[in-house]
Chain A
Amino acid sequence: MSTAVVEPQHVPSGSQVNYLNATYGIKSWLLTTDHKRIALLYLASITLMFFVGGTAAVLMRLHLIEPQGALVQPETYNKLFSIHGIVMVFFFLVPSIPATLGNFLVPLMIGARDLAFPRINLLSWYIYITGALLVLYAILTGGVDTGWTFYTPYSSTYSHTHVIAAALGVFITGFSSILTGLNFIVTIHKMRAPGMTWFRMPLFLWAMYATSVIFILGTPVIAITIFLLGLERILHVGIFDPAIGGDPLLFQHLFWFYSHPAVYIMILPGMGVISELVTCFSKKRIFGYSFVAFSSMAIAVISFVVWGHHMFVTGQSIYTGLVFSVLSFLVAIPSAVKVFNWTATLYKGSISYDAPMLYALGFIGLFTMGGLTGLFLASLATDVHLNGTYFIVAHFHYIMVGGAVMAYLGGIHFWWPKITGRLYPDLWARIAAVIIFFGFNLTFFPQFMLGYLGMPRRYAVYPAEFQVLNVMSSAGASILGIGYLIPLIYLIWSMRYGPIAGPNPWGAKGLEWQTPSPPPTENFEEIPVVTEEPYNYPGTEVPVRG
């Protein structure tokens, strides 16, 4: 993206001091304030949580092979989908890209030595771990069966499972998001290198900034909501339970005031990653930089005024529904701007199909499908039919798995050489990306059909005529599961045996590629001076402005 004063150093990594080998020992990791090491702490923790949530999903899909249920009791099934949702949403998707790639890259991309508040950054990881341990405790001691939405009054009055422990875990983890968001906002405002103006920032940073805004505005609301839920459950006072004077709709309003923007917490960072991948692997400037940048901010803003579309059939007023429907359609505009701009960026680019690019292309297609099916759900009339069915499940998995997880994996593959200094086996990586793409579609496309035909979500049994589509979905889930295990194996393998990557294996622009791989603890020998527009790939340069 930009020219630094320093030339990339072509010293083979491993022979130099970097953030990985500067100090050794468990203490040097657990007490580190280096944003790069904290990113790796997060990477390890969220990978563990991903496989916890994934195991629950695999068990659910195995159970649904037979109409009467093949594996577990209905009560256990309820716990499985609750664990899957709680773990995947709060402990994987929300922190996934911000806490790992964001933590690693924000200072590197703006040319800073660290985040503004390194100790708060470490604190956020400990808070995350505390929340995660509470949820794991709830799972191991019998689970929780409220669904990830904790709807009242079921969660506050009737459920006999470990609601308090799980809710407390979610409550606590929220503070790690707040601290991460706070750190990113201050860092991006105050610590950009000389010449790194707002409109020279990589689009990943715009996405991180927009995500951070949602972190700090939305997360406190879910925290207080969960707290009120806990109060009602412990004190038996009617905050949300209508039987004792509360209002259950208020819980849903407060819950979705956070949890709808949270959807954009999960997808916006992915969009940021895709902008980096698409430009690098088509060796072109992004088409319409400022549109892509501002669409991130627009999504963040609009995301706060659409929550009511989760409540079309709950008894909120029809006029409220109407307004929320219109506002929800508005989100499609900045989202479509991004998709069109990525596509236009590909046009006449010199495209190479490295593994990260395969994930990026997969993302664009799957996100588009997820987005378009979202319009069905934003329409009042069709939502009445589709609400609470597998159509919803398929829709948000196209966004969350087809979108966010694909982008996350694409980003991990793209920056892995920077993070570890090593290359992974390229062929395996491409094979895994293709397996994941096909496994994903086989898992979730049949669910669109199931939902449209009327199969409700969260049921442990179903009529026999739905079996074929369910078996297809379960088969896809097993392929998807294998697809996720392959990168786990070769990425770990590559940390020791992979070939040395060098500072910039992809020929990418961006400050992070101009420092050695892995970067030194202080990131840069000398703080770089930025003189160029972002993504100024050879042959597509524009003259320096201002």
Chain B
Amino acid sequence: MAAHSRLHDPHAAEVAHQFEDPEQQREADSLGMWTFLVTEIMFFGALFAAYVIYRSLYPAAFETGSHLLEVKFGATNTAVLICSSLTMVLAIYCAQTGKSKSAIITFLVLTMLLGAAFIGIKLHFEWFHDYSEGLVPGINFNLAKYGSGVELFMVFYFFMTGLHALHMVIGLGILTVLVVMTARGRFSPRYYAPLDISGLYWHFVDIIWIFLFPLLYLIGGRYTHGGH
């Protein structure tokens, strides 16, 4: 009987009652996260589709809107996020290879700092700036100055980057939990599934940004001087 065999398993505490063994649990957790990421792709996918349709309907307005964004902040944030993916992987690697708790925590905290830096740059240098320029639809958008096509671009810009930032904030929450779990010695080379699947989530949020950055910041031949 399964309950009986668990008595002799030193890692029984980590196996939830519905699973037979740690391997089954690990596979289920991993597949669960992948399935969740599929729903996320459909979630953002619908937005991307709507964005692409309006970009083709209003190409000029969307280019104008895109040029109101600061590429240097978008590019900085891209670099910040890619670095945070690296530190995330290093945290998982440390758990996998049985490095010390403090090594795992260091990399997790670094990941959190980079994530926070992303949100800070987004908020302080971009969104607040956009607000002062009268670019926030529904709040202070200057319709007379920019026109309704640019407004539509800014709707998508704020919705897409806002939804992405919300995912970042959720990611920071997850990382906080992971830090606590690591400090309590919950992870070992045999069991680090929460780190693993949280890593999947973190990378996914990064990849969304990798698509958002060119889609929002780099359209309209910004660097082909006078090309249009």
Binding site for B on A (CB under 8 A): 107, 112-118, 178, 182-183, 185-187, 189-191, 216-221, 223-225, 227-228, 231, 234-239, 244-247, 250, 254, 257, 522, 525-527
CB distance from B170 to the nearest CB of A (A): 14
Task: Tell me which residues across on chain A come within 8 A of B141, comparing CB atoms.
Answer: 237
Contact A186 B31 (CB under 8 A): yes
Contact B155 A237 (CB under 8 A): yes
Q: Answer yes or no: B14 CB below 8 A from chain A CBs.
A: no
Q: In the complex, A524→B46 CA distance in Å?
A: 43
4 closest Cβ pairs, A-B complex = A235-B138, A114-B18, A220-B43, A220-B42
Contact A245 B43 (CB under 8 A): no
CB distance from B50 to the nearest CB of A (A): 6
As a 0/1 sequence over residues 134 to 148 of chain B, the CB contacts with chain A under 8 angstroms (1 = contact) are 000110010000001
Q: In the complex, A245→B152 CA distance in Å?
A: 8
Contact A189 B46 (CB under 8 A): no
Q: Answer yes or no: B159 CB below 8 A from chain A CBs.
A: yes
Q: In the complex, A224→B45 CA distance in Å?
A: 9
Contact B137 A254 (CB under 8 A): no
Q: In the complex, A209→B31 CA distance in Å?
A: 14
CB distance from B124 to the nearest CB of A (A): 23
Task: Tell me which residues across on chain B come within 8 A of A219, comparing CB atoms.
Answer: 39, 42
Residue of B nearest to A221 (CB): B46
Task: Tell me which residues across on chain A come within 8 A of B39, comparing CB atoms.
Answer: 178, 182, 216-217, 219-220
Task: Tell me which residues across on chain A come within 8 A of B159, comparing CB atoms.
Answer: 227-228, 231
Q: How many A-B residue pairs have CB under 8 A?
A: 109
**CB pairs A–B below 8 angstroms (24 shown):** A112-B18, A117-B28, A118-B16, A186-B28, A187-B28, A191-B19, A216-B35, A217-B39, A217-B42, A219-B39, A220-B45, A221-B43, A223-B43, A224-B47, A225-B46, A231-B159, A237-B151, A238-B151, A238-B152, A246-B152, A250-B50, A254-B46, A254-B49, A522-B17
Q: Most chain-A Cβ atoms within 10 A of its Cβ — which of B28, B45, B137, B152?
A: B28
Contact B46 A117 (CB under 8 A): no
Chain B 9-55 interface residues, beta-carbon cutoff 8 Å to A: 16-20, 24, 27-28, 31-32, 35-36, 38-40, 42-43, 45-47, 49-50, 53-54
Contact B138 A236 (CB under 8 A): yes
Given A113-B18, A182-B39, A191-B28 contact (CB < 8 Å): yes
Q: In the complex, A223→B163 CA distance in Å?
A: 13
Residue of A nearest to B18 (CB): A114
Q: Answer yes or no: B199 CB below 8 A from chain A CBs.
A: no
CB distance from B156 to the nearest CB of A (A): 9
Contact A182 B138 (CB under 8 A): no
Q: In the complex, A477→B152 CA distance in Å?
A: 47
Contact B24 A217 (CB under 8 A): no
Task: Tell me which residues across on chain A come within 8 A of B24, comparing CB atoms.
Answer: 190-191
Main secondary structure on chain A at its contact with chain B?
helix
Task: Tell me which residues across on chain B come within 8 A of A187, comparing CB atoms.
Answer: 28
CB distance from B148 to the nearest CB of A (A): 5
Given A116-B32, A191-B28, A216-B137 contact (CB < 8 Å): no
Q: In the complex, A238→B40 CA distance in Å?
A: 25
Q: A220-B42, A239-B50 are in contact. List 8 more A-B contacts (CB 8 A).
A: A182-B32, A216-B42, A219-B39, A221-B46, A228-B50, A238-B152, A245-B58, A250-B50
Q: In the complex, A295→B38 CA distance in Å?
A: 23
Q: Most chain-B Cβ atoms within 10 A of its Cβ — which of A190, A225, A231, A246?
A: A190
Task: Tell me which residues across on chain B come within 8 A of A190, comparing CB atoms.
Answer: 24, 27-28, 31
A114, A115, A191, A235: the one contacting B155 at CB < 8 Å is A235
Q: In the complex, A527→B24 CA distance in Å?
A: 14
Task: Tell me which residues across on chain A come within 8 A of B151, comparing CB atoms.
Answer: 237-238
Task: Tell me which residues across on chain B come within 8 A of A183, comparing CB atoms.
Answer: 32
Q: In the complex, A148→B58 CA distance in Å?
A: 31
Residue of B nearest to A116 (CB): B28
Q: Answer yes or no: B1 CB below 8 A from chain A CBs.
A: yes
Given A220-B43, A221-B46, A182-B149 contact (CB < 8 Å): no
B2, B27, B45, B155: the one contacting A527 at CB < 8 Å is B2
B18, B42, B53, B58: the one contacting A191 at CB < 8 Å is B18
CB distance from B142 to the nearest CB of A (A): 13
Task: Tell me which residues across on chain B come within 8 A of A257, comparing CB atoms.
Answer: 46
Q: Most chain-B Cβ atoms within 10 A of its Cβ — which of A187, A189, A228, A245?
A: A245
Q: Answer yes or no: B57 CB below 8 A from chain A CBs.
A: yes
Task: Tell me which residues across on chain B come within 8 A of A224, comparing CB atoms.
Answer: 43, 46-47
Task: Tell me which residues across on chain B come within 8 A of A522, comparing CB atoms.
Answer: 17
As a 0/1 sequence over residues 103 to 139 of chain B, the CB contacts with chain A under 8 angstroms (1 = contact) are 0000000000000000000000000000000000110
Given A191-B28, A231-B159, A527-B20, A220-B40 contact (CB < 8 Å): yes
Contact A239 B43 (CB under 8 A): no
CB distance from B163 to the nearest CB of A (A): 9
Task: Tell me which residues across on chain B come within 8 A of A525, comparing CB atoms.
Answer: 1
Q: In the complex, A128→B16 CA distance in Å?
A: 25
Task: Tell me which residues across on chain A come within 8 A of B53, comparing CB atoms.
Answer: 247, 250
B1, B38, B138: the one contacting A216 at CB < 8 Å is B38
Contact A237 B152 (CB under 8 A): yes
Residue of B nearest to A194 (CB): B20
Contact A113 B17 (CB under 8 A): yes
Task: Tell me which residues across on chain B come within 8 A of A178, comparing CB atoms.
Answer: 39
Contact A221 B152 (CB under 8 A): no
Q: In the complex, A215→B94 CA distance in Å?
A: 37
Residue of B nearest to A236 (CB): B138
Task: Tell me which residues across on chain B come within 8 A of A236, comparing CB atoms.
Answer: 138
Contact B28 A237 (CB under 8 A): no
Task: Tell me which residues across on chain A come within 8 A of B31, comparing CB atoms.
Answer: 185-186, 189-190
Q: In the complex, A224→B44 CA distance in Å?
A: 8
Contact A115 B137 (CB under 8 A): no
Task: Tell me which residues across on chain A come within 8 A of B2, comparing CB atoms.
Answer: 113, 526-527
